[in-house]
Structure 1
Amino acid sequence: MSRLTRRQTLGAVTGAAAGVALIGVATASADPAPAQGTGGAAKGGTASGPASFDEVYKGRRIQGMPAEAHAHGHAGHHGAGYRVLIDGRELHVMQHGKSGWSSPINHYERFATPLDAARTAVLSLKGAVVVPFDPTA
């Protein structure tokens, strides 16, 4: 009876984990329904954008709402039509087509909604305040 080597075991585990992650990404991007906040007043999303939200998450107030492109002072790219605030300070969010949303705090991660991006930013900030983001700098 042959035994599996560590390399074969590691390869099998890595392949299984990658498959599970791929299924999760495919499921998240296929579900167009916006996430509803657990502690806030979330309004239904529209075909033109995600739902508004206003909730306290881990002791921080996070808000999200549709915004006009000119309110950000730059062209309407990277999801400029949506505004997210953490404790009243703006967290720049970017929409990447159907692959999801990101922020400068978690730029290489994609989230199904701006609410998910805001919650993850709160966790990553670990109490720090959001600093202004200037895309022209």
Structure 2
Amino acid sequence: MSLRIREIADGLGSRLRVTAEDRHAGSLVILERGDLSNGTRALLDRYGAEVLRAFLMAARLSLSGGLPDEIVGGPFATQFRLVVDPVVNLALTQDGGLVALDIPASLWDRLYAELCLISAHTSEGLRASTRPTRYN
């Protein structure tokens, strides 16, 4: 997987572009809300994408009970927060609160599935890069 771009949309007009790029240090996942004009995007490394995937499932299972925030450190430090009022969404905050990206609940299932696919492709890419070739 060198570049993967998927556009996720719901019936209400919300759109989320999910881009996955291979980098020498691992994969990079870029999330952008295509329906908003502010150009906000969130960048996640493999670890951040895996935490987002798990947080999406946890949020689906605990909508009424709330959910503690998750924080990922590193070069793409991110805070994941479940927001239930006024509308249910998942808020990603980066760069000390300067970048915020809201993902409506109507996009969660498709985003979860896309993150599963990205994880599978990334894992296989890492395995393939460590396999010996016939010439080694």
Same fold per superposition (TM over 0.5): no
TM-score (norm 1): 0.29
Output the TM-score relative to the length of structure 2: 0.29
Higher relative contact order (CA 8 A, sep 6+): 2
Bigger strand share? 2
